[in-house]
A and B are shown apart, each in its own frame.
Chain A
Amino acid sequence: MLAAQLDPLGASLVSLLAIASLLLAFVMLGSRWLDNYLYAFALQSWAMAAVAVVVGYFASAPELYLVAALSAVFRGLVLPYLLWRMIRRLHAARELHEALRPASALVVGALAVVFALGVSSALAGPLGLGGSTATLALTVMLATVLIGFLMLSIRREAVSQVIGLLVLENGIRLGAEILIPGMSLLIELMLLADVIAAVACLGILVRYLLSQFGSASSTELKRLVG
């Protein structure tokens, strides 16, 4: 809602950063290397922090600075570090068994963006927000969520799946920062607690997976069927 009231400079900065974070999602989609996922995810989190600063400044919502700081520190540094440790422990530098090659995944990702654009223009039109930053935010949010889903479903390494989940949540946060700055502090705190706990849980499970199966690829997980 506030996004509609941003002045032109703020609106263009927000748009630029939103598109940058969408591009970073494509970087993850187009790569096989776990390290690349990690760096792109960290950069994406920094872009989100920057969005929070811009919205906080132009819409004079000071609590968004706190959101930005939390996002930069925890999602930009702490989570990538935890994931980096997980990758080192796994001795798995790249994705070996993806269901869809990166080139095809990029095409599907592009289709996802087109779909997201269609949905958000259809939604924003009746609300009187057609062509505004809100439409862009909605598009980026839905597209990033879809790309996160895509990563979750085509990747087999445990770390890739965790990163897919994080990308999905990043998309939701980006949308929340722009569309509903009023609640984004609550959302940020919630997601932060949630994500750190989830990554810790997943880290422990990865350890079990390693001890039991000798790898952390979900291709091994096929005992329970029917």
Chain B
Amino acid sequence: MAGALIVALLGAPVVAILGCIVLRPAQVALLNLAASIVVFAVAVPLTVLSSGAPRYYWQHAIVLDAPGAWVVLCAAIVYLLSSIHAVGYMRLVGENSRLPSFYALFAGFALTILLSPLMNNAAVYWIAIELTTLVSTFLVVFERAAESIEASWKYIVLVSTGISLALLGTVLFYWNGSFVLGPTYAMTWDALRRAAPSMNPALTVLAFLLVLIGYGTKVGLAPMHTWLPDAHSESPTPVSAMLSGALLNAAMLGIVRYLAIADRAPAGILPRLALVVLGAFSLLIAALFIIRQQHIKRLMAYSSVEHMGVIALGFGFGGTLGVAGALYHMLNHSLNKSLMFFGAGNMMRSFGSPEIGRIREIGRQFPVQSGLWLLGAVAITGAPPFALFLSELVILRAGFRHAFAWAAALMAALLIVIFIGFLDHFRRMYRAAPPGEAAAAPLRAPGWCVVPMWLALVPLVILGLWWPQPLWEFFARVAQLLGVVGR
């Protein structure tokens, strides 16, 4: 049953890729949309099924466990929302002849993201993450402007370099495990977890730090985040949403799985401390750059750095509360950041400029759309009654309970700074243009671009008012799998 679902999950994007090669440009958008609907429809039951014991398929190459399935679900949601948005948005970009290659890459990007959480071998997971980089480079550079070429060059060079550090860490973990499991063994997450208690502490710490820096580059934790604002801001909007809402989580999962291993090794507090420090530093950097930002999509990108920092803090604090908060935050951030990027992309197209100073009077021009966008902005800064308020509150509670109270206090302070800085930009965009400045009538975004904003906002409100009990039990199950119960 679950095996067939996994085949459908990975098969749908493959069909879309093949279809994009064969079909006419007019049909590829709908084909990709259909694939994303299938992926979403399959990801939901997969997540439900994954709450039992981990299941293995294809000679233990593929694992379906609760943390992996959760990341798959988040990715599937973002893939669905951004596929809907892409139908309208890519018409505005006006590159009709290159649409098939765009959608083939887009579906391929989704495929690599969906693949990586399911990989049971730590080394194969590494290659899945590297594949996401290679595929998405061409999505970032799709518009071929000077800025997007620059962004994609920085993206591929920085992320490939970072990720090779993760490979070095992977090699050291394997070597470390070989003192326990013998010179040749299958490097599954499970094998590493079993070997962990007898691993050498110093080597474990070194290997974990390398993995943390490596995958942390991909997650966009400061100070390795420098590629992120460039790539997120210069790629077409549906791609920005995928990068931010789906890809970053998939890379975060690697850190979390290695953290579970380092936790069982006699490696002390240092691995956790390193994750907490990186998370707090990401929040700080994001706060500074959000306040002074002029570019609407870079604003959203720095907000992604912020939220990855929050998630890193959640996992770093640990305990059932920390893990549950971080996982809930992953879902909420995926929904909310998609909404924010869609709004930003629509406004950018409408006003013909990404500069916040040139986007004026959005309340009068687009009452509905700007309302959705503003609610999203209130939600993403962590105000009630939206879901991010709940998840951030839970993470804070986890933090204040033990040794990392300083980080929790810093997080609370920086969240307030970000709340003020972020919403101030929205205040500016509601204001009228200064007299004397000619205001050209903005273009309207098609309905395809507005519908996914509704689809993202409604669940955010529901999840903010009501944290379903089954979800709570699911998170507890993940925390138990990661071995943090009783902390």
A, B co-complexed: yes
Chain B CB within 10 A, most for which of A127, A179, A194 = A194
Instruction: Report Cα–Cα, A172/B160, bound state, in Å.
Output: 14
B residues with CB within 8 A of A: 123-124, 126-127, 130-131, 134, 137-138, 141, 144, 146-147, 149-154, 156-157, 160-161, 164-165, 167-168, 171, 174-175, 178-179, 183-185, 187, 200, 202-203, 206, 229-230, 233-234, 289, 292-295, 298
User: A205 and B175: CB pair below 8 A?
Assistant: no
Closest 5 CB pairs of A and B: A182-B184, A221-B150, A224-B230, A1-B178, A208-B149
User: B123 and A186: CB pair below 8 A?
Assistant: yes
Which residues of chain A are near B167, meaning CB under 8 Å? 169, 172, 187, 191
Instruction: Report Cα–Cα, A1/B323, bound state, in Å.
Output: 36
A residues with CB within 8 A of B: 1-2, 119, 122-123, 126-127, 141, 145, 149, 152, 158, 161, 165, 168-169, 172, 175-176, 179-183, 186-187, 190-191, 193-194, 197-198, 201-202, 204-205, 208-209, 212-213, 218, 221, 223-224, 226
Residue of A nearest to B292 (CB): A226
Which residues of chain A are near B292, meaning CB under 8 Å? 226
Which residues of chain A are near B183, meaning CB under 8 Å? 1-2, 180-182
- Picked from A119, A149, A186, the residue with its CB within 8 Å of the CB of B206 is A119
- Picked from A122, A149, A208, the residue with its CB within 8 Å of the CB of B144 is A208
- Picked from B134, B153, B174, B184, the residue with its CB within 8 Å of the CB of A221 is B153
User: B178 and A180: CB pair below 8 A?
Assistant: yes
Residue of B nearest to A176 (CB): B171
Known contacts A168-B161, A209-B153, A213-B146, A201 near B187 by CB under 8 Å? no
Known contacts A1-B179, A168-B161, A223 near B146 by CB under 8 Å? yes
Which residues of chain B are near A181, meaning CB under 8 Å? 183
- Picked from B149, B157, B168, B234, the residue with its CB within 8 Å of the CB of A161 is B157
Query: Least Cβ distance of A81 to chain B in Å?
Result: 20
Which residues of chain A are near B127, meaning CB under 8 Å? 190, 193-194
User: B174 and A201: CB pair below 8 A?
Assistant: no
User: B178 and A182: CB pair below 8 A?
Assistant: yes
A-B contact pairs, 12 of them (CB 8 A): A127-B179, A152-B157, A161-B157, A181-B183, A186-B123, A191-B167, A193-B127, A201-B134, A223-B150, A224-B147, A224-B154, A226-B292
Main secondary structure of the interface of B (DSSP, over half): helix
Instruction: Report Cα–Cα, A197/B175, bound state, in Å.
Output: 27
Instruction: Report Cα–Cα, A125/B383, bound state, in Å.
Output: 53
Which residues of chain A are near B229, meaning CB under 8 Å? 224
Which residues of chain A are near B126, meaning CB under 8 Å? 190
User: A126 and B171: CB pair below 8 A?
Assistant: no
Residue of B nearest to A183 (CB): B174
Which residues of chain A are near B168, meaning CB under 8 Å? 141, 145, 172, 175
Instruction: Report Cα–Cα, A2/B182, bound state, in Å.
Output: 10
**Could you list 9 further interchain pairs (A-B, Cβ under 8 angstroms) beyond the known A127-B203, A180-B183, A221-B154?**
A149-B161, A165-B160, A165-B161, A176-B171, A182-B183, A183-B184, A194-B127, A202-B156, A205-B156
Query: Least Cβ distance of B317 to chain A in Å?
Result: 29
Which residues of chain A are near B137, meaning CB under 8 Å? 201, 205
Known contacts A149-B161, A182-B184, A172 near B156 by CB under 8 Å? no
Known contacts A205-B152, A208-B149, A224-B150, A165 near B157 by CB under 8 Å? yes
Query: Least Cβ distance of B6 to chain A in Å?
Result: 22
Which residues of chain A are near B179, meaning CB under 8 Å? 1, 127
- Picked from B146, B202, B206, B295, the residue with its CB within 8 Å of the CB of A126 is B202
- Picked from A122, A168, A179, A197, the residue with its CB within 8 Å of the CB of B171 is A179
- Picked from B171, B178, B203, B294, the residue with its CB within 8 Å of the CB of A226 is B294
Which residues of chain A are near B230, meaning CB under 8 Å? 224
Which residues of chain B are near A158, meaning CB under 8 Å? 153
Residue of A nearest to B294 (CB): A226
Which residues of chain A are near B123, meaning CB under 8 Å? 183, 186-187, 190
Which residues of chain A are near B138, meaning CB under 8 Å? 201, 204
Which residues of chain A are near B289, meaning CB under 8 Å? 226
Which residues of chain B are near A1, meaning CB under 8 Å? 175, 178-179, 183
Which residues of chain B are near A190, meaning CB under 8 Å? 123-124, 126-127
Residue of B nearest to A184 (CB): B171
